[in-house]
Amino acid sequence: MEQPSGKRLLVVTLLAALCSLGANALIVLLATHLKPDIKGYSHFRFADYGTLTVVGVLAAGIAWFIVLRVSSTPRWLLLRVAVLVTVVLWIPDVYLLAKHEPTAAVVTLMIMHGAVALVTYNLLVRVAAQSRSADPYSSLPDEASAYLLSQSAPKSDVSDVTLHRSLFVAMLVGTIAEFFIGGAELFYVPLNRPTGWLAHHGQAIYVVHALFGMALGIGALAVFGAAVTTARLVQVDRTAAIGGLMGVAVGAFGGALSYERSLRLFAIAFMVLGVAVAFFCYLLPLIEGSMDRIQFLPASHNPGHRDPETP
């Protein structure tokens, strides 16, 4: 894949955000027209879903920027991450169903999440970056192209080093847990509470969220320290460590903003963006490493192939 310039990627990301906002607004309009009784549903306010939509698209743009530079199979990787993230975002919707929220409204939210993923993925893959014509295998799927190019590339006598995968697994689990604790906090801690660090209602989960965020920050610093002190570390691991720390830092900045009542919507946006970036970065080495285990069977092992000498 051709690596787009930063300006081109930014323009396409903004275009994806606008198209996603338009798609979600159209979905809400259609849903409320078909089911007028859900017209006043709180999550259908443009400020609510619009902020989170823009944050999600920006996170996807950052992810595509990273993937193009560290992955040999960028489309393969981004597609699977997009599907995984969409499934994760559906989990809070299932929780809303369990709370007996209007079924039509929650299903509409799930469709909105899927629409954002579909629009953003296609614009990033098909517009922000195009296949390089000089690549003789560019018309093949990512996996086959990467395999064939790896066979023709010169082999290095010294192997690059990777960090232990348990580090990334632990950080990945931590970011997922932080996401769900933060989601639970939104249900139990009033968003319009007075300015201050502590909440008077739902204080326990508020404190757990803060302490868990601190632990996640310490873990991100530890992974970053291991990355910068390891010689000949593979690029994908170094990128994951740096990007993960930046994502956690953005989330922490959002947590600090939540002190001020008037900035809490922006605080949520920064926390969601930070968790999304950290989640993707810590997932990247795990998915990219799986490509090293892909085996291509010889043609004779294909069930549909028959050897000419075989009767």
- Residues of the chain scoring pLDDT < 50: 131-140, 147, 150-151, 156-158, 292-311
- Coil/strand/helix, residue 158: coil
Mean of the per-residue pLDDT values for the chain? 80
75/50 Cα distance (integer angstroms): 26
Q: Cα–Cα distances in Å, from 141 out to 80, 148, 282, 294?
A: 14, 11, 25, 13
Torsion of CA 190, 191, 196, 197, to 10 degrees: 80
164/182 Cα distance (integer angstroms): 28
pLDDT, residue 6, reads 75
Q: What residue segments make up the domains of the chain, in order of their start? A: 1-131, 159-296
CB-count exposure of residue 308 (10 Å: 0-12, 13-18, 19+): exposed
Q: What share of the chain is helix, strand, coil (3-state, %, to 5)?
A: 75, 0, 25
pLDDT, residue 223, reads 93
User: Which ranges of 99-135 would DSSP assign to H, the alpha helix?
Assistant: 103-123
Give per-residue pLDDT as tens, 42-65: 888 888 888 889 988 998 888 888
Gyration radius from the chain CA atoms: 22
Indicate yes or no: pTM above 0.75.
no
